[in-house]
Structure 1
Amino acid sequence: FAASPYLFGLARRWPEHLRAFLRDGPDVRLVEVLVRTEAMIGGADEMKGPLRRLKGELHLLTALADLGGVWDLDQVTGALSRFADASARAALRAVAHDQRERGKLISAPDDPRGPIPGLFGLAMGKHGADELNYSSDIDISLFWVPEVLTAVLDDSVEPQRFVDRIAHAFSTLMQDRTGDGYVFRVDLRLRPDPSSTPPVVAVPFALTYYEGVGQNWERAAFIKARAMLGDENEGRAFLQALTPFIWRRSLDYPAILDIQSIKRQIHVHKTGEGLEAAGANLKLGRGGIREIEFFAQTQQLILGGRDSNLRTPRTVDALAALRDAGHVDAEVCAELTAAYVELRELEH
């Protein structure tokens, strides 16, 4: 831990946790951390500290398992992604609790449709594919179903303002820095036309947007999308409705040319910057992580409309599927997979 003041500080701060991790093993302790996170109740103020301390425990045990060679890359990224799911769900429960206490939300706390029926979030990017790394932010796209949500709000509540307040409170709870750090940085920009739309987009508008003017880079982003938060049944129905948009059976030549520029389009959309990076850059540099990811995604976009076996969110699985379908040589697949795993481990 000498090279990581953060991990060294956690180990010194919580020697009892360190002993427990070493005694019980990471798998047992991971389940215990997730169970405690999923069992959290109360409002945002009550959850702020505990959520951040649980994140610290998760990072400490994951680092021990990673550096000690107990977990491989998939287990490391899987643990981080599972905690991202659990903490995001806890945060949404907390902000829903606060709105229920204020009389704005009238659904039952244990409503099977989720904390706020009609509101759902899609995990996007590495989060959606269960590929998070230690420093990842989480990309979440938030949507609401007007006829469902309106029915569970007090008559005095304007739905769009309500969901926008929920998004703000959710992001604040997850990413505000305190003495215990933060849980995850949250990026809500992977939504239709983020410069001119509210943080939570109504489903009818979103479907019209994607079907009418959706871009190929947005199709690529949805390859990794997963209904994760809130009313997950509505989230899965939304993704099902987008299937013809994401997975087109035929593409014209200009569309294929546009797909080839997806890497630059997504990077500029996310950062507002170009792709030039000084020195060696594991993620953005030539032959880096992002080039391997977008090689797989562009092949999926071109070929996945006619072959559903190629519609997998994880990069390594996508490379294997392309190999099995005869689109990538076995030697190339093995070389790209080995490079991807090594680069991701170095990234950590």
Structure 2
Amino acid sequence: MPSLRLAAPGHPPIVYSLHPDKKLTSIGSSPENDIVLPDPLVSDGFAIRFDGQIYTVLALKKTDFVVNGKKRGKHKLSHDDRILIGSCELRFVMIDEQPPTMAEAGETIADIDAYTKLYEFSEKLIQKRDLGELLDALMDAVVEITNADKGFLVLLEGETVDVKVARNINKENIADAVTQLSDAIVAKVVRTRKPVIVSDAMRDDEFASSKSIMQLKVSSVICVPLLDRGRLLGLIYVGNDSIRDLFQQDTLRVLTVFSSQASLIVANALLLNELRVDNKRLNDRLEQFRFGEIVGTSPPMQAVFRKVEKISATDISVLITGETGTGKELIAREVHNRSPRAGKPFVTINCGAIPENLLESELFGHVKGAFTGAVANKQGKFQA
């Protein structure tokens, strides 16, 4: 039966059936109308007319309404037309729409729950900086959303399998985690780089004979690879030892989304670790060739460093020569810093920038009244 689906802000949706024997259905805000719009700003004077074949919405007064985004005074209705009157929307449904089945409704709820968990994890991704806490939160969400009783995040280091995170349904760490994994399932995912779903491992043709399956008495397992631009970083392994046929394709779809997040986190963490290692190696190498503030690896520079070490322990005067910009002041500073006078001031003077008539005053100072403009005593550089 044709109907109008009413949607209004702050009100639950209402379905009004349009009976074929009713030629005119009134619409307005007053309670006397057949279809009451919960908007006090809407006047009466709208109606649905049925001539036996076609439903037409019309304004009985000089008031426009909107159908599918366009102003109308009269409009022949088709299936899924949307009529906007004030803040209320009326959707015309010509064919009865079947409500979703329980299975479809369940899938929808599961999808909503999965995306909710993904959103919550994304919030934690922004707030947390500790890699261990992030991976724990990720696996807790995976275990919860898949209804597993345990979950593992495994990284591959060459031929070695490293269980980075192992969590149970109570959000606790699992001891001896590597013994809780089926090596046969892990080996297949590593070899094929494709997800594996095992509905009943004890009766599975491929895995039933596996020693790890028999020892662990595994029921349901799903394992997906962690890939970063084609490189296999590791895998996510979740299982339930008491429920068979637990994991389906929709579980794999959800887990794939989380595995993508995990791949991103792990790849960034590995890259950051590589950068730290490279930085430390470069700093260690730099220290081998650092001489105070000077870095030099060439034989001539090493010879200069040896001379500085030799003369720093003496009280002799040193003349350092060289072109502009070659680092004469740096060498002088190193001589000072390595000498017994290191705790005393190191004074630099650019004699070329001092006018000849002021040179004596700058170097040795002057007393008040010694010359015009000497309004106070001044210490010279040598006194400083």
TM-score, normalized by length of structure 1?
Answer: 0.23
Higher relative contact order (CA 8 A, sep 6+): 1
TM-score, normalized by length of structure 2?
Answer: 0.21
Higher share in helix = 1
**Which one has a bigger Cα radius of gyration?**
2
Higher share in strand = 2
